[in-house]
Chains A and B, each alone.
Chain A
Amino acid sequence: MAENLWALREAKRLSVATLASRAGLPIGLIMEYESGARSIDPRHLSRLAKALYVEESEIRMRCEPRPGGAALERQAPPRPEPRPAMPQQPPYPGQAGPAPASAAPPAAASRQRGMRPPRQMSEPRPPAPARPSQIAHLTDLIGRLGKDRAALEAELGKPLEELDRLAASSLLGKLQLELRNAPSPERHRAYLPEAVDQYEHNYLNSVKESAATLQFTLFNGERLEGQVAGYGPYNITVRQADGGEVTLNKLAIVSYRRARAEAEGADQ
């Protein structure tokens, strides 16, 4: 049968502080549990059971006040023998003396308060209003896109300032995408061709397929004639008239052109 927490603790001769330390719970919370001011949180039950070396089922979930004694006990562990009476000093200047142990037991008050109402599932919070920075960013984007703010607000059905944070974020994403895709005279890439070496690749490909003869001029002044047998980003392999092949590093090439007879034929 389940017992009061305070009864179990006293049976184990533990102080509140010791129990609190063992269970890893605040002293005040233990005191509230013991006084019945609060029912024991199920999450703390196993801790208390371990600290007291008892089964969880042995602890009553809500304590009843101890009979005739102080419900709240701060420090003193139960002593086997009562000490001889000492002359009592008022604990604080102006105070008549220690409060009687039975005075105003909090347990009584807590009983009046009754059981803690079960925790209700919190309702979803209303969405937070848009941040000022979001409004400023939206205003800027609307300006850059050349949009009419009033028309946009009419479409949204409310002023921008009344948007919630999520709606503002969604609208920002939409406008940013629109800005990215919008052609703008202010923004263009640097002078880049469409592909790194696409045009030369196409040229060499057509020359290779047509088996045209190219005349290469090299850095060392040499000239070389032949058909393109293959090419890559950094080199061109040339098949010469005698059937021999030579691979030229592009770094060694100054220029190349169709051989004169070929060029004349191409012109005609």
Chain B
Amino acid sequence: MSLGDKLRLLRAERSGVTPAEIEAALPELPKGLYRYMEQRYRAVGDDNTIRMLAGFFGVPFEELRWRLEWPRKSLNRALFHAQSQRQPITLELSTGEKVTGAIKWWDLGAAEIETEAGSVVVQRHAVERWDPRAPEPEAGEELDEDDE
């Protein structure tokens, strides 16, 4: 689960506190940054910001920090790579379950994986980690980094 998805989930678990309320509670947080962290597909934020948010939500810093290395955009790359190379992918879900199989389709919300036990539709925000990770794009390859 990306940092953005985790933050969204934490907000929902805390009775849907709004981004505006978070910004009001954390005046040191640059204005608009929280929304970016939650909505962007690339990794947004730094240790200092994450520390503030971890304090606000009452979760360990590391629980949020590692997710910065697993942004939604990386999952896009991995899904694209696995599908185009016709390779199986393993998705580690938030429940601890691992789903391995071929990708039938994927979009920005979910992916259908054809496993040995049948196909399963996985919500992308429930994917914690995946394997293999796609190769990092070369400089300038992703022209529309902020389109999403």
Contacts and interface: CB of A to CB of B under 8 A. Distances in A.
Interface in B89-148: 93-95, 97, 99, 105-110, 112, 118-123, 125-126, 137, 141-145, 147-148
A193 B142 contact: no
Dominant secondary structure of chain A at its interface with chain B = mixed
Q: Contact size class for A?
A: 20 to 34
Nearest to B75: A191
Contacts, number: 97
A190 B144 contact: yes
B77 A191 contact: yes
A160 B148 CA distance: 41
Interface residues of B, number: 37
Contacts of B119: 257-258, 263
Contacts of B9: 219, 251
Interface stretch (A36-44, A91-99, A174-182, A197-205): A197-205
B79 interface: yes
Nearest to A250: B123
A189 interface: yes
B95 A254 contact: yes
B8 A189 contact: no
B118 A187 contact: no
B80 interface: yes
A254 B94 contact: yes
Given A254-B122, A256-B120, A257-B119, A189 B144 contact: yes
B91 to A, nearest CB: 9
Given A251-B12, A253-B126, A255-B93, A197 B73 contact: no
B76 to A, nearest CB: 4
A195 interface: yes
B26 to A, nearest CB: 23
Nearest to B12: A251
B109 A200 contact: yes
A136 B99 CA distance: 55
B93 A254 contact: yes
A219 B112 contact: no
Contacts of A1: none
Contacts of A260: 118
B79 A253 contact: no
A25 B13 CA distance: 79
A217 interface: yes
A260 B119 CA distance: 11
Interface string B68-90: 00000100110111000000000
A192 interface: yes
Contacts of B126: 219, 253-255
Interface string A197-235: 111100100000000000001010100000000000100
A196 interface: yes
Interface string B9-49: 10010000000000000000000000000000000000000
Nearest to A195: B107
Contacts of B106: 193, 199
B109 A250 contact: yes
A198 B119 CA distance: 18
10 contacts: A193-B107, A250-B109, A251-B125, A253-B123, A253-B126, A254-B93, A254-B97, A254-B122, A254-B123, A260-B118
Given A191-B142, A197-B108, 4 more contacts: A190-B142, A192-B76, A200-B107, A249-B12
Top 4 nearest A-B pairs by Cβ distance? A191-B80, A254-B126, A191-B76, A199-B105
